[in-house]
């Protein structure tokens, strides 16, 4: 089976659980094989995470779709991603929002993610090497924030970088397993929804886990 066919089949499967047609269309457009080491080419459209080196992983496509859907992107948003990794999630976001800022603490990953995103012609994504402060304050506020690494709790620092009515999607729990939370920022009490269990590599740094 060719990669194009494999991608179409995967998206069809995702359609059984993901209802946002724009998210499915974005996943049908972005070539995941370009974001993974070439040894895994044949596995690019299996619904599982894959190693991208440096002890990090590109998320499972279903989780990418689920998290992206929860951001409720309509096209005009500014979005922040914590944990650019391979750059795949950033590409999906770039398909669906106006502007994407993504930060990553491993400089080699920043470099390779930038290269693929450039090659694919995205002009609405900036990838930065993460600073000590979680997030990217210079670009705040954001309408949506996605954290693709597991945190011990919802970081206040990120809620501060979010607009009122904005959505923060973040895995929260232990170092090994988490619950995927969607937090909608309100003027009084934030709305918190649990989207289910998940497993992410740890979010490292101040307010998160030690290296």
Would you name the residues annotated as active-site residues? Answer: 59
Interface with ligand SAH (CB under 6 A), residue from 77, 95, 104, 143: 104
81 in Cβ contact with 203 (< 8 Å): no
DSSP state for residue 47 in the 8-state scheme: S
- Cα-to-chain-centroid distance, residue 158: 15
DSSP-based three-state secondary structure for 13: helix
Task: Mark the segment that binds ligand SAH (CB under 6 A) among 6-14, 102-110, 153-161, 167-175.
Answer: 102-110
Q: Kindly state whether residue 89 participates in binding ligand SAH, applying the rule CB under 6 A.
A: yes
Interface with ligand SAH (CB under 6 A), residue from 44, 58, 117, 127: 58
Is beta strand 142-147 parallel, antiparallel or unpaired with respect to 162-173?
parallel
Interface with ligand SAH (CB under 6 A), residue from 11, 117, 130, 162: 130
Q: Packing angle between helix 61-70 and helix 3-14, nearest 10 degrees? A: 50
Q: Kindly state whether residue 203 participates in binding ligand SAH, applying the rule CB under 6 A.
A: yes
Q: What angle do CA 101, 20, 177 make, to 5 degrees?
A: 65
Q: x/- string (CB under 6 A) for ligand SAH, residues 153-192?
A: ----------------------------------------
Q: Kindly state whether residue 83 participates in binding ligand SAH, applying the rule CB under 6 A.
A: yes
- Closest to 1 in 3D by CA, of 37, 38, 46: 46
Is beta strand 142-147 parallel, antiparallel or unpaired with respect to 78-82?
parallel
Q: Kindly state whether residue 77 participates in binding ligand SAH, applying the rule CB under 6 A.
A: no
Binding site for ligand SAH (CB under 6 A): 56-59, 82-83, 85-86, 88-89, 103-106, 109, 130, 134, 148-149, 201, 203-205, 208
């Amino acid at each position: 089976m060719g990669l194009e066919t494999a991608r179409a089949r995967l998206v069809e499967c995702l359609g059984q659980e993901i209802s946002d047609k724009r998210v499915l269309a974005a996943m049908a457009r972005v070539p995941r094989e370009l974001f993974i080491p070439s040894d895994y080419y044949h596995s690019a459209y299996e619904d599982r995470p894959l190693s991208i080196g440096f002890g990090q992983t590109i998320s499972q496509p279903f989780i990418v779709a689920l998290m992206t859907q929860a951001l409720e992107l309509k096209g005009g948003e500014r979005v922040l991603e914590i944990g650019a990794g391979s750059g795949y999630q950033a590409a999906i976001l770039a398909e669906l929002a106006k502007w994407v800022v993504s930060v990553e603490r491993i400089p080699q990953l920043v470099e390779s993610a930038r290269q693929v995103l450039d090659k694919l012609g995205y002009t609405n994504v900036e990838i930065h090497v993460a600073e000590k402060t979680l997030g990217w304050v210079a670009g705040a506020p954001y309408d949506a924030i996605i954290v693709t690494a597991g945190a011990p709790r919802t970081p206040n620092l990120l809620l501060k970088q979010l607009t009122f009515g904005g959505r923060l999607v973040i895995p929260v729990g232990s170092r090994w397993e988490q619950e995927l939370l969607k937090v909608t920022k309100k003027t009084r009490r934030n709305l918190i929804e649990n989207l289910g269990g998940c497993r992410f590599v740890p979010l490292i740094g101040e307010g998160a886990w030690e290296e």
